Amino acid sequence: MNDAVETVRRISGVNPLKCMKCGKCTATCPAYDEMEYHPHQFVDMVANGRLEELMGSKGIYLCLSCFACVERCPRNVKPGALVEAVRLMVIRQQEQNHLKPQEIPALLEESLPQQAITSALRKYRR
């Protein structure tokens, strides 16, 4: 797992050790209550190599990518970039796509914008 932690740090460009644990990311996150691990915990778990737990969590699909935590972190840690990197560690593995094209037709409705589907495919599969 150490190599995997290194990959997460490299592709996210985040050094989780810069975190001073103020909790501002969690306080500002619109999805904090939906995630098993809140953003500040997420950063701490990456720093401590607890990647498997994070990779198995549902929260990695609930981050809204709204960049509130990225904007407001006083230490420029970018928790949202870590969430994205951990999700990539999952979906880049073979057969680990979170969304399959054949699931799309059932999700379509008249007013749904194209970008919703395209974004989901881009975020949830490789």
Partner 1 sequence: MTYSYFPGCTLKTRAKDLDRWGHAAMEALGIELQELPEWQCCGAVYPIARDEIALRLSSVRALATARDLGQPLVTLCSACHHVIKRVNGDMQRDETIRDRANTYLQLDKPYEGEATVLHYLEVLRDAVGFDKLKEKVVKPLTGRKIGAYYGCLLLRPSAEMAFDDPENPTILEDFLRAIGAEPVIYAQRNECCGGYVTLEKRDFAKKRVAAIEDNAAALGAEALVTACPLCMYNLRENGNGMPVYYFTELLAEALGLKEVEA
Residues within the interface to partner 1 (CB under 8 A) = 10-13, 30-31, 34, 61-62, 64-68, 70-71, 80-81, 84-85, 88, 107, 111-120, 122-123
Instruction: Report DSSP letters for 20-54, one per residue.
Output: ----HHHHH-TTGGGSSS-HHHHHHHHHTT-HHHH
Half-sphere exposure at residue 56, Cβ-oriented, CA atoms within 13 angstroms: 4
Q: Which is nearer to partner 1, 23 or 121 (CB)?
A: 121
Which of residues 45 and 84 has its CB atom nearest to partner 1 in the complex? Answer: 84
- The residues, any chain, with a CB within 8 Å of residue 113's CB and separated by 6 or more, are none
Q: How far is the CB of 80 from partner 1 (least distance, A)?
A: 7
Minimum Å gap between C-beta 24 and partner 1 is 13
Q: Residue 44 or residue 61: which is nearer to partner 1 going by CB?
A: 61
Distance CA 65, CA 113 (A): 18
Three-state DSSP at 11 gives: helix
CB of 43 to partner 1, least distance (A): 15
